[in-house]
Structure 1
Amino acid sequence: MSKRPKYSVIKNSKISKSSRIYDQVNLYGCRIGKNSKIDSYVYIEEGVTIGDNCKIRPFVFIPSGITIEDDVFIAPSVTFTNDKYPRSHGDWTLLHTTVRRNASIGAGATIGPGIIIGKNALVGAGSVVTKDVPDDAVVAGNPARIIGKRTTP
């Protein structure tokens, strides 16, 4: 990261020097690994970890409690959630979500709280993920269901 992005809020975050952060992002107390790319209009909350070689495309929301391992691709407009029963007042329960190595999440997908997306898994565009996704699975739909298996070279 050679220069501070314009019009961005970056507070208490640890960002690898080899990662690229574009303009107009909000990063609060997160960690971003080596060679990762965070596009404009991405919002990442405190306690989020993003691994090495990840690509986070525009308009992605990543709240506290999310771990994204190495080599993950997240397409535009993906939303992660971290509370199963959100309320405007009172207590809430943080449920942790993990996206395992080499997974890809298609544009506009919504990832529910407390989910594990397996290694090499592929989540189709517009999917609503309400259950764990196994390694190498291809899921799509609302709610997301397994529609195939991903093969990698």
Structure 2
Amino acid sequence: MIRILKKYIITILNLLFFIKLSLIRFLEVLGGFFPETSLGCKIRGCIYRPFLKNCGANFQVALNVKFENLNKINIGNNVYVGYGSWINGHKDGVTLCDEVMLGPYVTLVANNHSFLDNSYRFGKGSGGEIKIGSGTWLAAKSTVTAGVVIGKGVLVGANSVVTKDIKDNFVVGGVPAKMIRIIER
């Protein structure tokens, strides 16, 4: 009897551990049941809200978005994350201030690999917080690397890779991203 009880307890503990590890994937699947409409985006935002470090009002998430390390991601008010984007708060986290808009397939990863014994595979990871300022738009397929701070009102052109900090009110683009012009207010 004790052996059977012990077996059931171990099975339940393994199941709970599996559920904990699978929670993010479950949220992605659950969010996929809602259409790619304004209402569907708002529902997905509500689904993720309790698992984020901080989350403001009107958070909207398109389909097929992948979040990792949600407990290190801060979201401001009126933030939109576009279709297929990937946000990984590993190491020092990611902050999206108010009114940030991410186009489709944007990548934000707050960690990097380092080189060890002629390989990146087992090198110690390094990171830095990514911060995206209020009113900034990251266009489709943009990438922001660890430790980058992007100012307020910045437009990052499609397919750009931002590797250095960007001041307020600039249009940047390219690989690596460079200033194209200042946005006059």
What TM-score does the superposition give when structure 1 sets the normalisation length? 0.79
SS at match of 2:181: strand
Amino acid at match of 1:70: D
Gaps of 5+ in 1: 10-18
SS at match of 1:7: helix
- Please state if 1:67 is matched with 2:95: yes
Residues 68 and 99 in structure 1, CA contact (< 8 A), matched pair in contact too: yes
Q: Deviations over 1:82-115 (max 9, x none)?
A: 2232544353223111001111100001111100
1:40 is aligned to: 63
Gaps of 5+ in 2: 1-26, 32-40, 115-119
Q: Deviations over 1:33-60 (max 9, x none)?
A: 2012111111122211111101111111
Q: Whose helix proportion is higher, 1 or 2?
A: 2
| Larger-gyration structure (1/2) | 2
What TM-score does the superposition give when structure 2 sets the normalisation length? 0.67
| RMSD value, Cα | 2.7
2:140 is aligned to: 107
Residues 113 and 123 in structure 2, CA contact (< 8 A), matched pair in contact too: no
State the shift of 1:127 in Å: 0.4
Residues 104 and 120 in structure 1, CA contact (< 8 A), matched pair in contact too: yes
C-alpha distance in 2 between matches for 1:22 and 1:134: 31
Q: Whose strand proportion is higher, 1 or 2?
A: 1
Residues paired across the two proteins, number: 139
C-alpha distance in 2 between matches for 1:129 and 1:148: 15
- Superposition misfits of 4+ residues, deviation over 3 angstroms: 25-29, 86-91
SS at match of 2:179: strand
SS at match of 1:108: coil
Identity %: 29
Please list, as runs of the form range in 1=range in 2, the aligned pairs for 1:80-99 lying within 5 A after superposition.
80-85=108-113, 87-89=120-122, 91-99=124-132
2:78 is aligned to: 53
Residues 110 and 129 in structure 2, CA contact (< 8 A), matched pair in contact too: yes
SS at match of 2:171: strand
Relative to structure 1, the CA distance from residue 28 to residue 90 in structure 2 (aligned partners, 3 Å threshold; closer, same or farther) is: farther
